[in-house]
Structure 1
Amino acid sequence: MTGGWAVVMPVKRLLGAKTRLADTTGEELRPALALAFAEDTLTAVLACAAVSSVTVVTDDDEARVTLARLGAAVVPDSPRGGLNPAVEHGVAAARTARPGVAVAALNADLPALRAAELERVLDAASQAPRSFLADAAGTGTTLLAVLPGVDPAPGFGTASRMRHRASGAVELMPGDVESVRQDVDTGEDLLAAIALGVGPRTARSTHRLGDGFRTSAASRN
């Protein structure tokens, strides 16, 4: 299904995003880092040969302008009901633009994302009507994929891996896709992402965290 996937990325308002990172980054840097994650995620998605379009769902003005400039179609978070309604809204928008498209909802906090690894995940997802990829911690979900005409029925949030499995979604098990699993909610997650190799915008933002933080990340390699 090369070039056949539409990707949906919900992005929270930056002032309320990544609050669990505050102890590591401080309040001043946290919103900028959340935007950097989304920028690097989007850049990698747009470079993936299996992806033909990206729809970002957000009510944040800065994210809207920045991510549209990079090449995403941006729609407002009209439901304003949290992550799962935003995913459903984005899937509907993607299917309105391209009826019959296969759609993957992807976290916007994957700063180490590699296009080739995402392509492997989407190739695996093309074999099941509805499927998902667990996060690095093994409890959450970073990607939920559905083939044309299939209801996404998203269950993102706490313990979403078990929720998606219980709902009948096939758990994807492709090898060597760590960058698609490594979302960032905590300082430890950020260290793990940096050790994998984050995108340029995240790298510039984390540079402000100081040499000690970067040394901790380097020691993981």
Structure 2
Amino acid sequence: MRTDADRPVFPAWTLVIPLKPLVRAKSRLADTAGDALRPSLALAFAQDTVAAAVACAGVRDVVVVTDDDLAGRALAALGARIVRDEPSGGLNAALAHGARAARVIRPSSAVAALNADLPALRPTELQRVLDYASAFPRAFLADAAGIGTTLLSAGPGISLAPAFEGPSRARHGASGAVEIPLSDVPGVRQDVDTWDDLEAALALGVGPRTAAAVEQVRLAGQGPGPGPLRRSAASPE
């Protein structure tokens, strides 16, 4: 019987993270945060996601696909390589473009698409997911709701073939990708589309930029209630 100790672990991964222009990102938070504060939340989520990804031991490169200049500068400062969203064909086209761009630099790299809205992401949890994924040509992790996907991986030489948005868990499974069954990686699963999602992420402990952005929303009399913010001890400053 194969055990975790038998799994091949790729020496390094390239992560591809897509990010919409901030003015359009996280539209489902607009009713509570307002259009003035919503873009800052979206950027904070992405900054904490990228910071945790860069700090993950098994990650060599983080590629962010975005046309937003402000976000590009902020995420490049954290160590990400910025790739323009040249196809402008939606999320899956952006991810495929980012994966191709990543492999121009590192042709033999294992690649994983990762959501940009994982403010409770912890490097050690992400490493466990990547280690598990390395046993398979393609693998994916379902989101906390069990409907979508927060991570999709492809081994060296394997096409990523992303099918994100909506019920992507079912689509990725139908495409032949293996579902990653780890239950102890809540920060990798908890993406944020709604205020309930944000409350769940806050309960796990979010990174410092998300904590600061949420505090600004609260000071404006909007957003989640005034309970204490937990900062993830594993999230890098």
User: Is 1:90 the equivalent of 2:98?
Assistant: yes
**Is the contact between residue 65 and residue 83 of structure 2 (CA under 8 Å) also seen in structure 1?**
yes
Q: 1:73 aligns with which of 81, 95, 102?
A: 81
Question: Aligned to 1:16, what secondary structure does the other structure show?
Answer: coil
Q: Relative to structure 1, is the Cα distance of residues 2 and 116 closer, same or farther in structure 2, using a 3 angstrom cutoff?
A: farther
User: Is 1:213 the equivalent of 2:221?
Assistant: no
What residue number does 1:198 align with? 206
TM-score normalised to structure 2 length: 0.89
- Measure the CA separation in 2 of the matches of 1:207 and 1:29: 11
TM-score normalised to structure 1 length: 0.95
Deviation at 1:210, TM superposition (A): 2.4
Structure 1 residues 121-136: aligned runs within 5 Å: 121-136=129-144
Structure 1 residues 52-71: aligned runs within 5 Å: 52-71=60-79
**Is the contact between residue 129 and residue 150 of structure 1 (CA under 8 Å) also seen in structure 2?**
yes
Q: Relative to structure 1, is the Cα distance of residues 124 and 214 closer, same or farther in structure 2, using a 3 angstrom cutoff?
A: farther
What residue number does 1:182 align with? 190
Q: Structure 2 counterpart of 1:20, which letter?
A: R
Q: Relative to structure 1, is the Cα distance of residues 23 and 216 closer, same or farther in structure 2, using a 3 angstrom cutoff?
A: farther
Q: Relative to structure 1, is the Cα distance of residues 48 and 2 closer, same or farther in structure 2, using a 3 angstrom cutoff?
A: farther
Aligned residues: 218
Deviation at 1:69, TM superposition (A): 1.1
Q: Relative to structure 1, is the Cα distance of residues 217 and 187 closer, same or farther in structure 2, using a 3 angstrom cutoff?
A: farther
- Measure the CA separation in 2 of the matches of 1:133 and 1:215: 30
Aligned Cα root-mean-square deviation (Å)? 1.4
Q: Relative to structure 1, is the Cα distance of residues 206 and 32 closer, same or farther in structure 2, using a 3 angstrom cutoff?
A: same
Q: Structure 1 counterpart of 2:71, which letter?
A: A
User: Is 1:44 the equivalent of 2:68?
Assistant: no
Deviation at 1:151, TM superposition (A): 1.1
- Measure the CA separation in 1 of the matches of 2:229 and 2:167: 27
Over residues 25-64 of structure 1, what are the superposed CA-to-partner deviations in whole Å (9 max), with x where a residue is unaligned? Answer: 1111100100000000000001100101101100001011
What residue number does 1:151 align with? 159
Q: Which runs of 5+ in 2 are unaligned?
A: 1-8, 231-237
Deviation at 1:85, TM superposition (A): 0.3
Q: Relative to structure 1, is the Cα distance of residues 210 and 52 closer, same or farther in structure 2, using a 3 angstrom cutoff?
A: same
Over residues 106-142 of structure 1, what are the superposed CA-to-partner deviations in whole Å (9 max), with x where a residue is unaligned? Answer: 0000000000000000000001100000000000000
Q: 1:140 aligns with which of 123, 144, 148?
A: 148
**Is the contact between residue 11 and residue 108 of structure 1 (CA under 8 Å) also seen in structure 2?**
yes
Over residues 141-176 of structure 1, what are the superposed CA-to-partner deviations in whole Å (9 max), with x where a residue is unaligned? Answer: 000000011111100000000010111110001231
- Measure the CA separation in 1 of the matches of 2:172 and 2:115: 15
- Measure the CA separation in 2 of the matches of 1:64 and 1:209: 23
- Measure the CA separation in 1 of the matches of 2:157 and 2:126: 22
Q: Structure 2 counterpart of 1:215, which letter?
A: G
Over residues 80-109 of structure 1, what are the superposed CA-to-partner deviations in whole Å (9 max), with x where a residue is unaligned? Answer: 000000000000011111111000000000
**Is the contact between residue 79 and residue 85 of structure 1 (CA under 8 Å) also seen in structure 2?**
yes
Deviates more, 1:153-162 or 1:207-216: 207-216
Q: Structure 1 counterpart of 2:225, which letter?
A: F
Question: Aligned to 1:204, what secondary structure does the other structure show?
Answer: helix
